[in-house]
Structure 1
Amino acid sequence: MTAYAIGRLRDVRMGTELRAYLAGIDDTLAPFGGRFIIHGGAKTVLEGAWPDDVIVIAFPDLISARGWYDSPGYQDILALRTGNSSGDVILIEGVDHSHKATDILTGGFGD
């Protein structure tokens, strides 16, 4: 099942360190089958407020996503991002193509 690393970043300070992070991240994704789905970009806020930047990286599965995040290659550059932005990052499994909204009613969510 496809899994995603999702980041909501704010207070991003683009400088030498963050540029080095951006220059290095693609090489850390490749061994784990990761690829950017969303990387910043223009957004239209329809409800509430959303000042943060959104990043979504897809992986073949949750094991690959966790392997990437914990990998020495990513850990070596992680402080370049965390030292120059604040935010939240999660890993989460996606759903299959046949998923319907009501599936969560029988899947144990919210019980």
Structure 2
Amino acid sequence: MPAYLIVYRESPVRDAAELAEYSRQTREMAGGDWKLTPLVVYGAVHPLEGQAPDGVIMLQFPTIEDAKAWYESPAYQAALPHRQKAADYRAIFVEGL
């Protein structure tokens, strides 16, 4: 069953250098053995209900185990503090059908 990581940026970027470092580190991970498919990366947001986030990312993984392994990997955990310093985010895993 596929799983999705959905990340909402809830505020404008406050530290562009931190976000650039996060992006650099996660791009380096893309060449690895991770089974992920980017589906949404900061596309235009069209709110229907409630406040629109500043940005949205959605990654697809084959399973929730694959998603958790990627998120909990040493490489991603090293990159994560840079994203957290760059802006306010909310992140969730969702299992698909």
TM range (shorter): 0.7 to 0.9
Provide the aligned length of Structure 1 versus Structure 2: 95
TM-score (norm 1): 0.76
- Shift, 1:10, TM fit: 2.1
Q: Which residue of 2 aligns with 1:56?
A: 58
Query: Which amino acid in structure 1 is aligned with residue 23 of structure 2?
Result: L
Instruction: Pick closer, same or farther for the CA change 1:50–1:83 going to 2, 3 Å.
Output: same
TM-score (norm 2): 0.86
Q: Which residue of 2 aligns with 1:10?
A: 10
Percent sequence identity is: 34
Q: Which residue of 1 aligns with 2:95?
A: 93
- For the pair shown, the structure with the greater C-alpha radius of gyration is 1
CA RMSD of aligned residues (A): 1.6
Question: Which stretches in structure 2 are left out of the alignment for 5+ residues?
Answer: none
Report which structure shows greater RCO (CA 8 Å, sep ≥6). 2
- Shift, 1:16, TM fit: 1.5
Q: Which residue of 1 aligns with 2:49?
A: 47
Question: Which stretches in structure 1 are left out of the alignment for 5+ residues?
Answer: 96-111
